């Protein structure tokens, strides 16, 4: 069925032109991604209206414009609730939209709060602490090795080879660097030394289902401690992707991902990142309720492609899932 779709996004080039740095716009989508998504929606038979960032959506909603559905991939610019801004605007103006609501977007961007919700739901996640100032690092009651990263960033911003802290003596220095660079608290976790997988989920409620379980493999020249920003940027040389199926890890990862998806209130589609502990049991790392959707290099489309789901089918599943949810 043909629908009128509004399309909200943060276009990387627009913010670079406005004077933001490359680091500040790392999470945003480039024109190739936006064009590919627009083309997929058009190929599905929909009418697409480019809106862009949240302030443009606010202007157009206030002027009385409405769409059958807003397809939202806007990340927002500042604050730990920035991913909630477009969903909140849509709800304020009674405008249907895709993906998670404001509460879920805010919870999942703050990694410590997401881990608390997951932990309190009885689901596995590594022990952690939050460092808000340099002196807090001395009070972290966790044994090395540890892993440190900014508490509210996406696209692996701030995740580097130095994030793996092998000695407690290094922890304070690493935390000070992150506090200064990102001006937000630091999440410190017990390091999980096992395999890393990411799980794509689509659908809502009891109809939510796993698209695939994909292992993130680290090649010889990769930073093997984690799926770092550098690994993601140079994935062709550093990372290999393969489906995990027919082994206990696959079943455990599916079960955990679906539990996390429900506990955090994800909708329509999301990507759940997991890593195994020393015993090989998967643990929750973080949730991505606005998953990357570049048809070539984003994890959810990659795993969809590996299971034989064309990109157009993935997009159609997300859109129709949102339509059914509103009905």
Higher pLDDT pick, 22 / 289: 289
Higher pLDDT pick, 218 / 38: 38
Residue 64, classified by CB atoms within 10 Å of its CB into exposed (0-12), middle (13-18) or buried (19+), is: exposed
Q: What is the pLDDT of residue 63?
A: 98
> Does the pLDDT value for residue 317 go beyond 70?
yes
Q: What is the pLDDT of residue 326?
A: 96
In this predicted model, what pLDDT tens digit does every residue of 124-155 receive, in sequence order? 999 999 999 989 999 999 999 999 999 998 76
> Does the pLDDT value for residue 118 go beyond 70?
yes
Q: What is the pLDDT of residue 278?
A: 96
Q: What is the mean pLDDT of residues 19-42?
A: 92
Closest CA to 165 of 186, 195, 196, 135: 186
Q: What is the pLDDT of residue 79?
A: 85
The CATH T-level fold of domain 193-326 is: D-amino Acid Aminotransferase; Chain A, domain 1 (3.30.470)
Query: How sure is the predictor about 117, in pLDDT bands with cuts at 50, 70 and 90?
Result: very high
Q: What is the pLDDT of residue 230?
A: 64
CB count in 10 Å sphere of residue 30? 13
Handedness of CA 67, 68, 70, 71 (dihedral sign): negative
Q: What is the pLDDT of residue 169?
A: 87
In this predicted model, what pLDDT tens digit does every residue of 46-100 receive, in sequence order? 999 999 999 999 999 999 999 999 999 999 988 889 999 999 999 999 999 999 9
Q: What is the pLDDT of residue 238?
A: 78
Q: What is the pLDDT of residue 157?
A: 81
* Start-to-end C-alpha separation, the chain: 14
In this predicted model, what pLDDT tens digit does every residue of 205-259 receive, in sequence order? 999 999 999 998 877 676 666 676 666 666 777 788 999 999 999 999 999 999 9
The CATH T-level fold of domain 4-97 is: Rossmann fold (3.40.50)
Q: Is the peptide bond before 112 cis (omega within 30 degrees of 0)?
A: no
Average pLDDT, the chain: 93
Q: What is the pLDDT of residue 237?
A: 74
Q: How far apart are CA 88 and CA 68, in angstroms?
A: 17
Equal CATH topology for 4-97 and 193-326:
no
Q: What is the pLDDT of residue 224?
A: 61
Q: What is the pLDDT of residue 154?
A: 77
The CATH T-level fold of domain 128-190 is: Dna Ligase; domain 1 (3.30.1490)
Domain boundaries, the chain: 4-97, 128-190, 193-326
Q: What is the pLDDT of residue 223?
A: 67
Contact by Cβ (8 Å): 140, 190: no
């Amino acid at each position: 069925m043909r629908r009128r779709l509004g399309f909200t996004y943060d276009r990387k080039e627009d913010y670079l032109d406005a004077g933001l740095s490359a680091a500040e716009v790392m999470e945003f989508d480039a024109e190739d991604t936006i064009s590919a998504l627009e083309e997929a929606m058009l190929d599905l038979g929909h009418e697409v209206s480019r809106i862009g960032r949240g302030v443009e959506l606010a202007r157009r909603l206030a002027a009385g414009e409405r769409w059958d559905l807003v397809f939202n991939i806007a990340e927002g610019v500042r604050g730990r609730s920035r991913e909630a801004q477009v969903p909140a605007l849509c709800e304020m103006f009674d405008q249907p939209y895709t993906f998670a609501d404001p509460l879920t977007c805010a919870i999942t961007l703050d990694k410590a709060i997401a881990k608390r919700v997951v932990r309190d739901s009885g689901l596995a996640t590594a022990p952690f602490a939050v460092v808000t100032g340099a002196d807090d690092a001395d009070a972290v009651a966790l044994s090395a090795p540890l892993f440190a990263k900014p508490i509210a960033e996406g696209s692996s911003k701030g995740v580097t080879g130095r994030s793996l802290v092998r000695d407690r003596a290094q922890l304070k220095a690493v935390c000070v660097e992150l506090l200064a660079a990102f001006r937000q608290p630091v999440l410190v976790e017990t390091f999980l030394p096992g395999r890393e997988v990411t799980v794509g989920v689509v659908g809502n409620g009891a109809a939510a289902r796993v698209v695939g379980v994909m292992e993130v493999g680290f090649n010889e020249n990769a930073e093997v401690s984690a799926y770092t920003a550098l690994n993601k940027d140079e994935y062709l040389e550093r990372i290999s992707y393969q489906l995990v199926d027919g082994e206990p890890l696959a079943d455990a990862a599916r079960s955990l991902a679906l539990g996390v998806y429900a506990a955090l209130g994800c909708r329509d589609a999301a990507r759940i990142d997991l890593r195994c502990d020393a015993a090989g049991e998967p643990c929750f790392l973080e949730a991505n309720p606005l998953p990357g959707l570049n048809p070539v290099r984003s994890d959810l489309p990659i795993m969809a492609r590996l299971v034989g789901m064309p990109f157009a089918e993935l997009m159609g599943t997300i859109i129709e899932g949102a339509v059914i949810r509103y009905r």
